[in-house]
Structure 1
Amino acid sequence: MPITDADRVHLTRAVDLAEQALEAGDEPFGSVLVSATGDTLFEDHNHVAGGDHTQHPELSIARWAAAHLTPSERAEATVYTSGEHCPMCAAAHGWVGLGRIVYASSSEQLGEWLTDLGFPPAPVATLPITTIVPQAHVDGPDPDLAQRVKKLHERRPRP
């Protein structure tokens, strides 16, 4: 399914949250969980600057959804995220049974950008979500918002 104008509203919010994370001294990632009726249920951004590199917004969404939504509500929800899920977050998404994922930029794009910017390789392989969750319904990247995400990563402090 192509990314719609309604999707872009939520996807833009996810990128706004990524920018908030960067401005707070963290890595620029943000995500939003939206119900089948279009209501924002939960949103968050990265919190890894303190040293716990599992504090990704997509993992927070999965935990929140498991605690607050029925299995059918989770399956009908959509996760909008500034960047494609890492393997940890993709697995959490699959285990919790969340629905569609829409991302602004792909893991492949992120890997290329960070390499070009001189960042060291990540300790975990960057893989497409569907490698981890083969039945996941995934849409992305969005060309315009991906460029905005790239600019956020260009502003990240170098190691």
Structure 2
Amino acid sequence: MSITEQDLVHLRRCVELAREGIEAGDEPFGSVLVDADGEVRFEDRNRVAGGDETRHPEFEIARWAAEHLTPDERAAATVYTSGEHCPMCSAAHGWVGLGRIVYVASSAMLTGWLTEWGVAPGPVAPLPVQDVVRDAVVDGPAPELVEEIKELQRRRFG
């Protein structure tokens, strides 16, 4: 599947949420959960500045979906995100049975940028979603929005 104009609408919201994160002194990541009918059901941004490094928006989406959606609704939903899921978020996504993932920038892109800026790697290996979740349906990157995400990441880490 390829990224559609409707996908880009939701990805732009993810970029806005990432911008809100950086402006709040947090890391610039944002994510949106959209159901099969195209309705936004949940959205969030990174909230790790308080010291809990698990407060990623993709992980919060998985928690919310497990509590509020049926297994069929979760499987039919799409998670949009500014950056490809980390392994923790990928695992949460897989365990609760969420559907398609669409991201702006890949983990490989982020890793390359951090290396370019001299930022030490984090404690978790940056694995592609498909290396964590069997049969994951993943689309990305979204070239139209990559530079915006790179600039937000540079503001935080560069």
CA RMSD of aligned residues (A): 0.8
Q: Residues 4-153 of structure 1 correspond to what in structure 2 (within 5 A)?
A: 4-153=4-153
Secondary structure, counterpart of 2:102 in structure 1: strand
* Counterpart AA for 2:90: A
Q: CA deviation at 1:118?
A: 1.7
Structure 2 counterpart SS, 1:104: strand
**SS state at 1:155 partner:** helix
Matched residues, percent identical?
Answer: 65
- 5+ unaligned residues in a row in structure 2: which ranges? none
Q: Please, which runs of 5 or more residues in structure 1 have no aligned partner?
A: none
- Report the AA paired with residue 60 of structure 2: S
Residue in 1 that maps onto 2:3: 3
Instruction: Give the TM-score, by structure 1 length.
Output: 0.98
Figure out how many residues of one structure are paired with residues of the other and give that number.
158
- For 1:7 and 1:132, how far apart are their aligned partners in 2? 23
Q: Which amino acid aligns with 1:104?
A: V
Distance in 2 between residues matched to 1:93 and 1:4, nearest whole Å: 22
